[in-house]
Structure 1
Amino acid sequence: MTDHRRNHAVKDPSGDEDSGVRPPSGELTFDPSEPLARLRRELATGPDGLSAREAARRLAVHGPNEVRRKARASFPGELAAQLVHPLALLLWAAAVLAFVADLAVLGWAILAVVVVNAGFALLQERQAERAVETLARYLPERALAVRDGRALTVEARDLVPGDVIVLEEGDKVPADARVTEGGLEVDLSMLTGESVPAERTEAAGLLGAPLLDEPNLVFSGTTCVEGQGRAVVFATGDRTELGRIAALSQRTRREESPLERQVKKVAWLIAAVATGMGAVFLVLGVAVGLPLTDSLMFAIGLLVANVPEGLLPTITLALAVGVRALARQGALVKRLSAVETLGSTSVICTDKTGTLTRNRMRLHTLWTAGHGTDEGPWARELVHAGALCTTVTRDADGDLHGDPTESALVAGAADHGVPVDLDRRDAERRALFRFDPRLRLMSVVQEDRASGRPRILVKGAPEAVLAAVLPGPDREAARSATQRMAEGGIRVLAVAAREPAAGEPLPVRRQEAETGLSLLGLIGLYDPPRTGVAEAVGRCHEAGVRVHVVTGDNGATAAAIAREVGIGVPRLEVVSASESLRDDELDRLLVEDDAEIVFARSSPETKLKVADTLRAHGRIVAMTGDGVNDAPALHRAHIGVAMGRSGTDVAREAAAMVLTDDDFATIVTAIESGRRVYDNVRKFIVYIFAHATPEIVPFLVFALSAGAVPLPLTVLQILAIDLGTETLPALALGRERSEPGIMRRPPRPQHQSVISRDMLVRSWGYLGLVSAVLVLSGFFYVLWRAGWQPGDATSAGSPLHHAYVTATTATFAGIVTCQVGTAFAARTDHAALRDIGLLSNRLLLLGIAFELVFTAALVYTPPLQEIFGTAALPWDVVVLIAAFPLLVWGTDELRRARRAARAGDPLTRRSRQ
């Protein structure tokens, strides 16, 4: 991470030449790594803090110390957005035409459809972005500040740059500050992801070190786990690290998913076609002599018949079903459209620890100096010394609490027959120098049980410990052993010891303790891969999904784990210091090369850069993360995946999906589910669009005959089909099981439309045309049986009126029965129906049963007959339309069989659609 604060010159605003300092203005930021005296001078403060009056003035300039929330859209605004969707606009137009034509009942029915659709979509999709609010909860409500030379409890939001604050064990840090007195152990895991507390003292800064690694800085929202000290505040509110992350999270707004964009495109296409057809045939109707009322009725009918009123709620319901299914499998999806986006994922960027591995460190290998063995008394001495050099504790139930690495050392000592009594360990301890992330060392002065004399024990990173070991052949041998172990995916610690000479005083500074050491050996710790990860990675490769690892771990260790689980096909490349990579280097690694990458020693900013690069080249990215600082990258990725067990609240709020089991394999399961949902969306689009043809053709027959053929279908009957009989079967198609080979297809291109040319040909040209011919045959059969001739009157009061009502009812019922055949046909695209089971979708069977009962109610119930203009059907008409499902489905099966015979491999053909 680079230091984003720059130093600014300041002057005294009062004009006092002697003071040489100026209280900071709201536009200034400060370099906290500069010498303390200079920082205090620029902040115009001292050891006794600010006066209350000065603090009040600065509060007016800088504003409160709080993370500002971005104003969210109002409920009326969000509702209005749903009401101006292209399909909704088309229905608004149809409603206006209905009222103009004095068809108030129809107009109100269409308006009800608009409102129900908008409300349903709003309730399903409204997911508040709470990441910034969650960040704000990390800040304490009160803080102990030094004002007018006295320590006072003040509201944390009233802190200003220049305030001196007092920090103790258990306190949350209220602002970014520089430690000026004492020493603290601070839990920075929310910012860095590191579980080991960091030591913070009044030490001088490190030249060129990242801000979070500075040994004298504490940050807003982190927690003091031990120690006591004072610090001077240099940044508050939005200028803190927490505020910077909040700003990034708000700038990286959520973009529409591919499905959302495609549905909008399709909606505009449908709107254009419907409007054009309505206008053309309105003019045509007038030209052929139809009354204006009939022409308007005709135009409204075309609009309503063209608009798939049930499309939006059906898609929303299908995605909701996918969300519930994934929740049962360990993936909580927070945004409905994310389910479909998962299906188009082409790249997964994953953490290592806890996602690919179990996050259960255990002692794996020992190497002893001078012996190289992992057995015998030397090995027991090594593991016992390592366990003594720990700070973990044991609770009343006997469980270990503390750093997982140290817990593994204590458990490993017990496994080797040299258990450590933690209470006795602490009682015999004479000095403790906690782990320093800069030095990568920890040391203790422990009383030796056998001799009663003190003994210095040191553990840490091999390179750091070996630098403090006396020269000898063991050092080179240890370096070689360290490399071999790291290449095997093992985390390596070195342990060394020294016994002070007789009369030598005990060390009071760590520099005195950590020198002149004798190497005891190396301890290898191993966090094994999760069960099923290797299989999941293999499924990713079959599905054409690349997997990259972005981790803060050592490159050799991360690469070994990656290879063990199968990452690195066709080859693996390891990149360290990833945050220094230029854009052109990232382009080459991620796009031009065919390797899978391990980004080692990575910061959260690396994740953001990787996500941006992949997005810029059209890849659909799933990115895992668990820390607060991961929130911008989780926002930026198409699918942000947070850890449910080990992740922070902020990461979970920023992500689109939360893994309740932290398991990589669950991501792959979610991708398969996303592909299945997308396929099923296409299936019920085929189902819904297939009914546009038999709904439109009757109006064309009416218009082209200049009214000689009466309208075979009323507008209210169309609404009964689109909103009543159609919805449940369409929803049931959203529950279809995956077709064979779904994870052997490459990810679909980002630009691929949810509606393809083949789908339209199948919907309108095969299923729709067959259905239209069948339903018109039923309509004309009823009229001709009653003696009707073209041009005969069928209006109310005429002899043929009852026959006409019966004929329109036959059309309505015929479309419903054709729906049944279309539903079975739409269940598969290439596979035969027998391959997935004729009766395997029980919800579809229930949906079909419902639409048949609903249709029977409209046809045979007198109150509904009066509303929808229906009449009871005679038995011969019922027998006729009962054959429609088999004819529709059978025609599509023949088409599918011919295509399969011509195409060869159906999976290959399907992947191109």
Structure 2
Amino acid sequence: MGGCPMAEAVDVEPGVRLDPTERVDLLLRDLRSSRSGLTTREAQRRLVHAGPNELRRRGGLKWPGELAQQFTHPLALLLWAAAGLAWAVGIEPVAIAIVVVIVINAAFAFVQEQHAEKAVEALAAYLPMRAKVLRDGRASEVEAIELVPGDVLVIEEGDRVSADARLLDGGIEVDLSALTGESMPAFRSADLVDSRVPLLHARDLVFSGTTCTEGEARAVVFATGMHTELGRIAALSERVKKDDSPLETQVRRVAWLIALISVLLGAAFIPVATLGAGLSFLNAVIFAVGLLVGNVPEGLLPVITLALAIGVRGLARRGAVVKRLSAVETLGSTDVICTDKTGTLTENRMRVTIISTATGSSAPDRASPGDVPLAHLAIAMAACNNARLDDPGGAVGDPTEIALLNASAELGVQVDPDDRQRRRRRQFHFDPARKRMSTIDEDTDGQIRVHTKGAPEAVLPRCTHELDAGGHPRPLTPQRRTALDELVDAQAQRGLRVLAVAERDLATGENIPEDHEQAERDLVLLGTTAMIDPPRAEVPDAVVNCHEAGIRIIVITGDHGLTATAIAAQVGITRDEPVVVTDDQLDQMNENDLDKLLRETTELIFARSSPEAKLRIADALRDAGHVVAMTGDGANDAPALRRADIGVAMGRSGTDVAREASTMVLTDDNFATITEAIQAGRQVYDNIRKFIVYIFAHATPEVTPFLVFALSGGAIPLPLSVLQLLAFDVGTETLPALALGREPAEPGLMRRPPRKRSEPVVTAPMLLRAWLFLGVIAAVLAMAGFCYVLLTAGWRPGAPTAPGTPLHHAYLQATTMTFLGMVAGQIGTAFAARTEHASLRSIGALSNPLLLWGIAFELLLTVAIIYLPPLQELLGTAALTPDMLAFVLPYPVIVWGADELRRWLLRRRKHRFTEDANRGRPVECQ
């Protein structure tokens, strides 16, 4: 970005230009703002003039190109070949009909994909980007799209910067890689004023699209929307093309395979039909066209896209916002969940229950008024804190800090956030690696004091003294340290989260420390606080579902190992004594040791873990072939969330960085929602396989009439015309296929082991079931109906059936019977495809009303094709008699019943082998 312009005037709204690097007081004057921000009324007025803070799409219309793509996918190309072949030999009506089919399919696919795209884009409404601003003199959260020039942003670690802004106070580390490509964070501070440098290099400016990785600051917005640096780049850039999901790629490969097989079959059978069977070249081409059309599953791609989109929308209603369609497929094969504890397994509603000082332990509401160490601890908890209790919408901030602030208020400390900000001289933010946070504050007497809070094992080693009952520091003896360790362990074993709090007075004349190492030394221990965060009520059932589904749960938490163990046992994640690995122990392991630990240890908890540990664990599990879902909420969790197959961010407590890096966001921060998402992923994947079986099963009955015609050398007239075949493909197949994409979950769905990552969506057993079982039964039944009508009319092989012959009407009825028989077989196939393992009775024959409506539609269309004169003339059908209808009536039951019997035999066989295995006898097969 070396060519970016020097700092110059910027358009912030119509008619307003200013220099963002001019003196802060002048910038605030030009923006007609102040350090306390705007009023709500003024912000709303400016929003009308400046417009929403969003990037507008450019590049013209996209839909013509997207529509054109529907005419060039492999299945459409196959139909173009069939139309060209029909036109070349002079059967123009068939060619025109095929082109009409191509257009109808393309329009249908285009509509479905547009619907899917809109469904995914609509998910933004579930997760609006938020920004912290000062409005009416108070900190509040607004949607980032409502930011206007003059707003004062409050930027904290993990926040995404939503507009271009000038820092007013504080200092932060900012990831500018989205704009500059530089991977290392850059320091930005209100004290560093740059004016003769490129805009992006000005050290007192921050920009939309970047993220704060460390620190805290306030900044005034000077540009929003397309006026930002990100907007300028977006205006010059073309939209990145959407990649196909792995599932769509697999299906596309299958489509090319079908196309190749169809072309080879058609090309091979033309000489076979002409030379071997003695057909005329015209009849051979008709056969080839029918073969091509019969092998094309036209609705496959749009139905899959729509099913994935429906799954994504359904997950969003359950509290899991999936950010791309392909994640639904991955969810179904997840076999390891690496979960945090706080807020995910627990309610994230911290409450301080015990405060321990040198004078003893008590609850906050039972503390002695004259306890000096307790008074110091209460002041420290309020000072070393960024939460606030006075927000109109309720308490705002980290749940742990809110709990500490509530406890300080109970102990009589003033917790006014503005007063706290005035007294604060410096902050060293909480660092997951250091496991502590410190602030430097000035008390009412002018004394500068360091306040520190954090994990006991991180704070106690830095303490040299402890505040005694008289308020005087006394040395921390080894015996006292041992007693403190035992106290912490005892409270952690009860599932309590324990923090240590300490302070240090700066000596007269001592400079305010510039880094945390200087500040956090020679501390005086004030005491410890123990907080309870009860497990969520719904988590135990979700854990049972995971165990039954063969999904392993690993807890990775920053909490004490004993606390994590207690919570894991309460919710059922662990049953025996789990192996607890601390961050220090993990650091000492090499890759082989970690692989062995993950492979051989069933119940595993990683405690006091850093974000780097999460990344390492995710890598190890993926290298072992597992499909990993990893939860996280902090900015430092982003690498692990990106590396996991499914990165799961917290929608409530998570940072903007974590949400952007994730694949799925939990709007309720609830572990049970992860289980529901995995179940939904399995359900969507199962449904995709169901309608693939349904669509593929029709290839056999569609091709069979042309094979019978060709192999008989024309002695048997063509049992189905190409136009009737097209009517069957386009008119009666699609709606039931769409309905199968909305099937309820099959019983036992979450008692099956996870699908392997390498398992393709279309497997050999599926094809055998579709082509050689359901397809063969439906084909035999359709041909039986054809033969029944002809033989009843007195036809014998070789007898003429052309127009003008006595048997021509019977022939029309016979082809109509084939068409009706295929529709009847299609209905039976739809019911059979509804379950892969279970019986239809277990899910309910009427439990999918959409399928019933789809079948009703195809029956009405079939009646119209058979009995309406215009359609009879167009498609070559004839009205059927009651005995013919009665002949076809049992077809659906025969097709469904045969598959029901097959599934019953498979379940019985599996049950027998399971019993043999349980008795210790050799298992014959799996």
TM-score by length of 2: 0.72
Q: Give the corresponding residue for 1:90.
A: 78
> What is the distance in 1 between the residues matched to 2:671 and 2:494?
21
Per the alignment, do residues 515 and 634 of structure 1 end up closer, same or farther by CA in structure 2, a change over 3 Å counting? closer
Match of 1:471 among 459, 475, 488: 475
> What is the distance in 1 between the residues matched to 2:342 and 2:844?
42
Q: Secondary structure at the match of 1:537?
A: helix
Contact 2:453 2:502 in 1 (8 A): no
The answer to whether structure 1 residue 645 and structure 2 residue 652 are counterparts is yes
What is the CA distance between 1:781 and its match in structure 2? 1.9
Per the alignment, do residues 650 and 868 of structure 1 end up closer, same or farther by CA in structure 2, a change over 3 Å counting? farther
Matches within 5 A, 1:148-187: 184=170, 186=172
> What is the distance in 2 between the residues matched to 1:350 and 1:91?
49
Match of 1:679 among 680, 686, 691: 686
Per the alignment, do residues 371 and 680 of structure 1 end up closer, same or farther by CA in structure 2, a change over 3 Å counting? same
Q: Secondary structure at the match of 1:709?
A: coil
Per the alignment, do residues 901 and 560 of structure 1 end up closer, same or farther by CA in structure 2, a change over 3 Å counting? closer
Q: Give the corresponding residue for 2:196.
A: none
Q: Secondary structure at the match of 2:529?
A: strand
Per the alignment, do residues 419 and 720 of structure 1 end up closer, same or farther by CA in structure 2, a change over 3 Å counting? farther
Q: Spell out, residue by residue over 1:170-194, the C-alpha distance to the aligned partner (whole angstroms, 9 max, x if none).
A: 589999xxxxx99825498999xxx
Per the alignment, do residues 303 and 668 of structure 1 end up closer, same or farther by CA in structure 2, a change over 3 Å counting? same
The answer to whether structure 1 residue 867 and structure 2 residue 867 are counterparts is no
> What is the distance in 2 between the residues matched to 1:646 and 1:635?
18
Match of 1:533 among 529, 532, 539: 539
What is the CA distance between 1:444 and its match in structure 2? 4.7
Contact 1:383 1:523 in 2 (8 A): no
Q: Give the corresponding residue for 2:264.
A: 276
Q: Give the corresponding residue for 2:145.
A: none
The answer to whether structure 1 residue 294 and structure 2 residue 273 are counterparts is no
Q: Give the corresponding residue for 2:800.
A: 793
Per the alignment, do residues 868 and 495 of structure 1 end up closer, same or farther by CA in structure 2, a change over 3 Å counting? same
Q: Secondary structure at the match of 2:846?
A: coil
The answer to whether structure 1 residue 441 and structure 2 residue 432 are counterparts is no
> What is the distance in 2 between the residues matched to 1:824 and 1:895?
14
> What is the distance in 2 between the residues matched to 1:353 and 1:26?
46
Per the alignment, do residues 912 and 535 of structure 1 end up closer, same or farther by CA in structure 2, a change over 3 Å counting? farther
Matches within 5 A, 1:110-509: 110-113=101-104, 115-116=106-107, 119-120=110-111, 122-123=113-114, 184=170, 186=172, 221-222=211-212, 225-226=216-217, 257=245, 259-287=247-275, 288-372=277-361, 374=363, 376-377=367-368, 384-389=375-380, 390-391=382-383, 392-395=387-390, 397=392, 399-414=394-409, 418-423=411-416, 426=419, 434=427, 437=430, 440-442=437-439, 444=441, 446=443, 458-461=451-454, 462=456, 463-464=458-459, 467-469=463-465, 470-473=474-477, 474-486=480-492, 488-496=494-502, 509=512
Q: Give the corresponding residue for 1:828.
A: 835
Per the alignment, do residues 545 and 106 of structure 1 end up closer, same or farther by CA in structure 2, a change over 3 Å counting? same
What is the CA distance between 1:875 and its match in structure 2? 1.5
Contact 1:362 1:525 in 2 (8 A): yes
What is the CA distance between 1:722 and its match in structure 2? 2.2
> What is the distance in 1 between the residues matched to 2:698 and 2:491?
66
Partner AA of 1:494 in structure 2: A
The answer to whether structure 1 residue 598 and structure 2 residue 606 are counterparts is yes
> What is the distance in 1 between the residues matched to 2:505 and 2:744?
69
Contact 1:382 1:495 in 2 (8 A): no
> What is the distance in 1 between the residues matched to 2:658 and 2:503?
41
Contact 2:291 2:706 in 1 (8 A): yes
Q: Secondary structure at the match of 1:365?
A: strand
> What is the distance in 1 between the residues matched to 2:833 and 2:520?
73
> What is the distance in 2 between the residues matched to 1:340 and 1:186?
39
Contact 2:377 2:527 in 1 (8 A): no
> Which region of structure 1 is more displaced relative to structure 2, 750-759 or 770-779?
750-759
Q: Secondary structure at the match of 2:302?
A: helix
Q: Secondary structure at the match of 2:368?
A: helix
Structure 1 unmatched runs, 5+ = 1-23, 28-47, 49-66, 132-136, 141-166, 176-180, 192-197, 204-215, 230-236, 244-249
Partner AA of 2:102 in structure 1: L
Q: Secondary structure at the match of 2:475?
A: coil
Per the alignment, do residues 801 and 427 of structure 1 end up closer, same or farther by CA in structure 2, a change over 3 Å counting? closer
What is the CA distance between 1:585 and its match in structure 2? 4.9
> What is the distance in 2 between the residues matched to 1:428 and 1:606?
34
Q: Secondary structure at the match of 2:648?
A: strand
What is the CA distance between 1:720 and its match in structure 2? 2.0
Q: Percent identity between the aligned chains?
A: 48
> What is the distance in 1 between the residues matched to 2:59 and 2:664?
24
> What is the distance in 2 between the residues matched to 1:490 and 1:200?
38
> Which region of structure 1 is more displaced relative to structure 2, 673-682 or 396-405?
396-405
What is the CA distance between 1:879 and its match in structure 2? 1.4
> What is the distance in 2 between the residues matched to 1:628 and 1:425?
26
Per the alignment, do residues 553 and 372 of structure 1 end up closer, same or farther by CA in structure 2, a change over 3 Å counting? closer
> What is the distance in 2 between the residues matched to 1:741 and 1:651?
34
> What is the distance in 1 between the residues matched to 2:67 and 2:658?
28
> What is the distance in 1 between the residues matched to 2:121 and 2:618?
20
Per the alignment, do residues 554 and 85 of structure 1 end up closer, same or farther by CA in structure 2, a change over 3 Å counting? farther
> What is the distance in 2 between the residues matched to 1:636 and 1:83?
37
> What is the distance in 2 between the residues matched to 1:856 and 1:846?
15
What is the CA distance between 1:862 and its match in structure 2? 1.8
> What is the distance in 2 between the residues matched to 1:684 and 1:424?
59
> Which region of structure 1 is more displaced relative to structure 2, 266-275 or 555-564?
555-564
What is the CA distance between 1:421 and its match in structure 2? 3.5
Matches within 5 A, 1:664-675: 664-675=671-682
Per the alignment, do residues 305 and 857 of structure 1 end up closer, same or farther by CA in structure 2, a change over 3 Å counting? same
Structure 2 unmatched runs, 5+ = 5-22, 24-54, 124-128, 133-150, 162-166, 178-186, 193-203, 221-227, 234-238, 466-473, 918-922
What is the CA distance between 1:557 and its match in structure 2? 4.8
> What is the distance in 2 between the residues matched to 1:849 and 1:227?
63
Q: Spell out, residue by residue over 1:101-149, the C-alpha distance to the aligned partner (whole angstroms, 9 max, x if none).
A: 3333233134325523652564356589999xxxxx9999xxxxxxxxx
Contact 1:138 1:221 in 2 (8 A): no
Partner AA of 2:415 in structure 1: L
What is the CA distance between 1:377 and its match in structure 2? 1.7
Partner AA of 1:467 in structure 2: C
Match of 1:815 among 818, 822, 825: 822
What is the CA distance between 1:863 and its match in structure 2? 1.9
Q: Spell out, residue by residue over 1:147-182, the C-alpha distance to the aligned partner (whole angstroms, 9 max, x if none).
A: xxxxxxxxxxxxxxxxxxxx998589999xxxxx99
Q: Give the corresponding residue for 1:208.
A: none
Matched residues, number: 783
What is the CA distance between 1:427 and its match in structure 2? 9.5
Match of 1:697 among 677, 699, 704: 704
> What is the distance in 2 between the residues matched to 1:98 and 1:628?
61
What is the CA distance between 1:735 and its match in structure 2? 2.4
Q: Spell out, residue by residue over 1:526-547, the C-alpha distance to the aligned partner (whole angstroms, 9 max, x if none).
A: 3333332233223222211122
What is the CA distance between 1:721 and its match in structure 2? 1.9
CA RMSD between the two structures: 5.2
Q: Secondary structure at the match of 1:601?
A: coil
> What is the distance in 2 between the residues matched to 1:849 and 1:355?
46
What is the CA distance between 1:712 and its match in structure 2? 0.7
